[in-house]
Each structure stands twice: as C-alpha cells, then as structure tokens.
Amino acid sequence: MSSILAANSDFRKKKQLKRSIVFNLLIAGKPGSGRSTLINSLCGRNIVQGGTSFSKLDKFYNNQESLDLEDISKNEIPVSLRHEIVELEDDHGIKIQLNLTDTINLNNNLNSQPDIELIKNFITSHFDDVLLEENRLKRNPRFKDSRIHVCLYLIEPTGHGLKEFDIEFMKNIGERCNVLPIICKSDTLTEGELKLNKRLIIEDIKYHNIPIYDFVATSNGDDDEEYEYNEYLNGVLPFSVIGSNEIYQVNNEEVRGRKYEHFTEGNIILDIEDATKSDFVTLRNVLFISHLNDFKEYTHEILYEKYRTETLSGSSNVPLPSRNYKPSTAGSVNETKENSNNENLSMEEQSVEVDENGDNSYLAKEEQIRLEEEKLKQFELRIQNELLMKRQELLKREEELRQIEKRLELEAQMK
C-alpha cells in the first residue's frame, strides 16, 4: 500500500512539474538600449537577434533620396511588437513559460505619443479578453491569460534624470502593468555616475507620481526578513544592468560577460553576474524566483480589478483596491495561484452556484443571465463610444490637414 501511495505521489509531482508557470514579460526601450541583449542574458541563451530596430530603419531609408526633417516626419515608422516564447527550468525542475514581448522602434519618431497609446492599448486588450471570458455563460477551459505581468523599461543614463518620453511612458503603462525601471548599459558609468543617475531618476519618479512597482507597499507578508528584503529592493531601484551575448572562459569556467581591452592589463572580462558591478542577478531573481507570484497576483487583484470596476461602472476615477482585498474567485480566470484548491476545476465548474431545485433555480439562472447581458451591454457601449470619439478625432485632424494644404497652396500661388 505504501508503495502505491509513493508511486501516486511521484506521479502527481511529475505531473505538476510538467505544468509550466506562465509569466508574461514586456521589454520596452528605445533602439540601442540593449533590449535584445537583456532578453538573451535573462534567458541564459541567445533567443533574439540584436539590432532589429536599426535594421528596420536602414531598410526603410535605403531607398530615400533625402533625409530632411520633412521627409522623416511624413514617413514615420510606427512602433511594432515582437513576441517570443521561451521555456526556462531551474535546478529543481520547475518550469516557467516566459512569454516575451519586445518593442521595436519605440520613441524613434518626432511624435512618439502614438507609440505609448499602441502599447497601452495592447496591454489593455488582454484585460478585455479576461473580462469578456469572465462574462461568458459558458467558459473556455483552455483560455490563456495573456495579461502582461511586468514591464521592464530601459532608461538611458543621461545624468539629468528622466526625459519627457520616459515620464509619459511609465505614467501611462504603470496604470495597467507593474513597471520596473532599468538603467541600461550601466558598465559605461563610473560608480559615482551610477549613483547620481539612480538618485535623479528616483527623484523624478517621486516628483511626477509615476506608478512604478513598490516592493514594500505591495508586499502581503508579515515576515520581518521579507520586509527587509523588499526595503532593500526599493533602495536598489532603478536596477542597473549589464547584458551580453558572449560566453567566455574565465578560470576554467564559462562566464557570460563583456570583453574590454585595457592598455596595460590586456583583455578584461566583466562578468554580468558580478553583483559589485550591476544589479542583474537581483533583477533575475526578483523576476523568476522571489516575486514572480507577487507580480501575477498584483496584476490580477489590483490592476485588473481596478480596470474591471472602471469598465463595468463607466468611471475612470476608481482608486486602486487594497493589497489585502481578495476579489471573488467565482469564475475567475486568474492563473496566479497555482496551488489553490480550485486548481483542477474547469472554468465551467467555477461558475456561480445557484439553487438547482424547482422555480428558485430557474429564477436564479434567469437573473444571472440578465446581469451578464447588462454587463456586456455596458462594455459594448463603452467600446462604441471610444471608437466614435476616435473617428471624430481623425476627422478633425483630416480637416486640419486639408486646411493646412489649402493655405500652403495659396502661399505658393502668391509667391
């Protein structure tokens, strides 16, 4: 009997290990900020090819006869998104399905506001997918939750804090996603320069009330050691990282690092995992080990719940729910609590329970259907109103362009 129980336990363990933890990560930064290198460094292998944004620009402008500001403004290349799925596995056999979204050509045009709107709409669309799924009478048991759990935003260290685009981007994206600010290519800075950039960036974040992820405020544990660790992480922000696509042999060990030529000491290999040089290891541990579930829970319980309330109530001034708030799990498609008691239940089995006896059952089901239909109508009405406003805005802009063209034609004729 004991052997059967042991075998059954091993079977359940193997089955659990086969199920990957899904984690959705967005990497955002301007061309040349090292997004591709950071992705490869986090994954421990070369997943994406670098220089995608620059090659796209070169291809676009190769056939252009002139590159003056007027031509560039007329031929702006919109930001695009690149998706990769990577499976990671730790030493204990725990698998993470990492769904990566990379931004190509972000903040590379004269007017970058559409870039922010596109990415925010992309994140919001996944909230809408979950909201629609929750409101279905018959749920899809194979529904995949694609909500972005973390956005790594790469900031160029200028010694002057945040740029206007950095502020606008993090303000908008922080409403829908956990944002972690990253100082890219920190190996180009001295220790003093790095401290200065970190201080100025944090000062700007506080001054402009930018909603980045707060490790202390979002913690739901009472453990003193955990609290101290979260305080430490808040003190480290923004994370400074060094990335590399190259592997070198150092003291008979393979090291992912960067190679520098020194005029007296020859070649120097900088290990990107050297904690005295960057926060790369801390960032990787936060993403994939210590705070992975915290990011997912905060996305569902706080950010999504706020959006859901706003959408169904038609209000945009709903405050963030308390961290201790536990939303109703009836019919929820939250995938964050992998070990919950409802783990093996299908979406249909998690639907709201009603009395199945006689007229009470019929009336309860009828009321449930009416409420679901009302929610869907409100949601559809909001979408229609937004589309109408967008159309009106486009028509207004087209009219303005026509007026400008007429004025230019008249000026040309007068000359």
For position 257, what pLDDT does the model report?
A: 84
Cα–Cα separations (whole angstroms), residue 278 to 260, 282, 291 = 16, 9, 19
- The pTM for the full model equals 0.70
Q: Is 93 left (phi over 0), alpha (psi -120 to 50) or beta?
A: left
The letter for the amino acid at 311 is T
Query: Are the C-beta atoms of residues 301 and 325 closer than 8 Å to each other?
Result: yes
State how far the Cα of 36 lies from the Cα of 243, in Å rounded to an integer: 9
Angle of helix 164-173 versus helix 113-134 axis, rounded to 10: 10
For position 70, what pLDDT does the model report?
A: 44
Which DSSP symbol is given to 188?
G
For position 363, what pLDDT does the model report?
A: 66
For position 395, what pLDDT does the model report?
A: 80
Query: Are the C-beta atoms of residues 40 and 47 closer than 8 Å to each other?
Result: yes
Strand order from edge to edge, sheet including 266-271: 247-250, 253-262, 266-271
Q: What is the mean pLDDT of each run of 10 residues along the chain (415 residues)?
A: 47 54 94 91 86 47 45 61 89 86 84 88 94 86 92 94 95 96 91 94 96 87 83 95 88 84 70 89 94 95 93 71 47 40 40 47 63 65 70 78 83 78
State how far the Cα of 365 lies from the Cα of 282, in Å rounded to an integer: 51
For position 19, what pLDDT does the model report?
A: 65
For position 316, what pLDDT does the model report?
A: 61
Q: Which residues pair with 95 in a beta bridge?
A: 89
For position 85, what pLDDT does the model report?
A: 92
Angle of helix 305-313 versus helix 358-414 axis, rounded to 10: 90
Instruction: Give 21's Cβ-side CA count (13 Å radius).
Output: 21
State how far the Cα of 88 lies from the Cα of 95, in Å rounded to an integer: 6
